[in-house]
Amino acid sequence: MSAAQRHDVHEDGNPGPDEILRSPEFTELIEEIMTSSGRSRESVTEEVSDCLKEMATVPSVTSTSQLIWKRLGKWMTRAYSIDVDENGLKALRELGKDASLIFLPNHRSYLDPMILRATLKKHGFPVNYVLGGDNLAFWPMSALAKRNGIVFIRREFKTATVYKATLRHYLAYLMAHKCNLEWYIEGGRSRTGKLRPPRYGILSYVVDAFAQAKDETVYIVPVSISYDQQHEIGAISAEELGADKSPESVGWLVNYARAQSRRMGRVHLRFGTPLSLREGLDSVRQQELDKAAERGVEPPADLERYAVPKVAFEVSYRINKVTPISATSLVTFALLDNDERSLTLDQGRAILRPLLDYIAARGLPLTSDVDLSDNGGVRDALATLIREGVVSVYAGGTEPVYAIADDRQHEAGFYRNTVIHFFNTRAIMEVALVKMAQEEASDVAAATWSYAKKLRDLLKYEFFFPTTREFAAAIEREVALVRPNWEHEKDDFDAAATLDILRTSNLHLAHRVIGPLLEAYEVVALQLAAREPSRPLERKEFLEECIGVARQWWLQGDLHSPESISKDLFSGALQLAANRDLLESGTADLRRRRQEFAAELTEAVRLVQVVRGMATETEWLDPRAVERVEEEI
């Protein structure tokens, strides 16, 4: 079906829930439910109809609601101008002429759908069907939203079998009519600035529906949405520290809209390489068939379910890959983790200069206002951060000095964390080199790689790492940036010489990139180790306990950053502990394994501290730091 035909069906024809219910797909669904449940046709039809009316939407360019929605979106997003990848959109428009496109953006703000919608509309795309949680389906917004392509989905429906079947068939119906879909793969807004682990729910329904289709063409489009600054980060940061989330309502919406009155810079839209759903499923299916053949066993019956996490992971990886580094992320990168010191502009430049050189060497994506040659855009970002109270300035001395304002570290960390995925391999390499040197390894390359793999395993719920082979190549690349041509000098590549080179490097990233994450994980690990093995663990209570302990440690100076006081990071640590079978009640063996887990995190945190000392030595030329580093090593 062409784009023109698509408009005929969904803008002029306006198929409503009743018409969709009469389609062959839903007639077949009703028959299936009747057969499996033994219920009457009338009863099943009524329930399917109710579910369909709850979720179905009919976008129409001729309706008054479209105009109202457009004006509402323009007013809500007035704080921003839009920076978009024009070439990427042009290619997508061509791709979408004969295919259904599934836009999967990251989720930073409630404004994301409005900004993406306005951008796609401006560039000639049909209205997306946007799948969102019914927590936003409050009157009068719900009726208006449903007329504008918003498909409200229940937050929980695990046991609602008819609802699940109706949703699956509705998605299949939309794809069969070449409609474009959109939802937010993280399932909720990022709490830390990093991309959250993907939610598989909706994607699994799409994969099921697609697998049953005959010849549909569907492409998944990874979308990166990032903001120079955001009004809502303060509330998100408070929630990370334990505050309750404000429920959505009309009053909440009015207050949220009023907060968008000040200019906050730009929002940056980037589109990753589209992923053919057919090719993705075929690739995973073949991998599973090959595995089964190698083991001499029957392949799984439902091969598609193995594809869902792999497709989700690949989409997340592609989102991160195109997320641009902004001036705001650079400013906060420089001002965070400086042992509570304020910086002059020159000192900030001294921290950023080697980072910018590294960014240039890697060819990493940048927003257009960042000029690597003269720190362009940084001054404007700094001024806005000062205006918003995230950065404080003291100008009563010989020159102004800048620092992250009290109690605003989480907000600053949010902006910095939007880009730390670009630097995690370098950070891991730095810590692995320190570990290798302290162990006086005879085989430097093997020892470095061994500990790098352990760190990757510790952080696997925080970053989307590439395959083992790609990760190994990335570690080698990072070592080569520290010591060029090392692979040709292996005879001279000893532990002491390597550490000297790292120490005198002008770029140290581990303490800024993975330091706060590992300290948060250490809090969880130590609390688990101190817990009686027989005592059941209740998640909410345990997270509150970790927040309280972490607050105490911060006040006592035992945490280097209050960013480590984070429900999101503690949840990641719990996920890792569950992966290692450390959460269920057990015996003395559980106590030992929990203690080993805590020791592993404590060691990683200690090694990061060595790198922090190196950074202090090179950034501040502090002789006391030199002594501390030498003592640690």
Q: What percent of the chain has pLDDT over 90?
A: 55
The CATH code of the domain at 327-418 is 1.10.10.10
- At residue 1, the pLDDT reads 41
Q: How far apart are CA 87 and CA 270, in angstroms?
A: 10
Tell me what percent of the residues of the chain surpass a pLDDT of 70: 91
CB-CB neighbours of 417 under 10 Å: 25
Going by their DSSP bridges, the two strands 81-84 and 218-227 should be labelled as unpaired
Burial 529-559 (b: 16+ CB within 10 A, else e): bebebeeebeeeebbebbbebbeebbeeeeb
Work out the burial of residue 438: count CB atoms within 10 Å of its CB; fewer than 13 is exposed, 13-18 middle, 19 or more buried: middle
**Which residues of the chain are in CATH 1.10.10.10 domains?**
327-418
Domain span(s) for CATH 3.40.1130.10 in the chain: 60-322
Beta strands at 275-276 and 150-153: parallel, antiparallel or unpaired: unpaired
Angstrom CA distances, 549 to 409, 416, 520, 544, stand at 18, 25, 11, 9
The pTM score is 0.89
Give the list of residues 6+ apart from residue 485 with CB closer than 8 angstroms, or none.
none
Condensed to tens digits (0 to 9), the pLDDT of residues 105-161 reads 999 999 999 999 999 999 999 889 999 877 766 666 777 788 888 888 887 887 889
For the chain, which ranges sit under pLDDT 70?
A: 1-15, 59-63, 136-140, 213-215, 372-376, 485-493, 618-633
Q: How far apart are CA 544 and CA 546, in angstroms?
A: 5
Give yes or no for a contact between 217 and 403, defined as CB atoms under 8 angstroms apart. Answer: no
Could you please state the CATH topology (level 3) that the domain comprising 60-322 is classified under.
Glycerol-3-phosphate (1)-acyltransferase (3.40.1130)
d(CA 308, CA 492) in angstroms, rounded, equals 47
pLDDT score, position 10: 44
CB 163 within 8 A of CB 50: no
How would you label 222-232 residue by residue, b for 16+ Cβ within 10 Å and e otherwise? bbbbbbbbbbb
Helices (H) and strands (E) counted in the chain, each on its own, are: 28, 10
The answer to whether the beta carbons of residues 310 and 284 sit under 8 Å apart is yes
Query: Residue 118: its pLDDT value, please?
Result: 92
3-state DSSP call for residue 430?
helix
Q: How many CB atoms lie within 10 A of CB 563?
A: 27
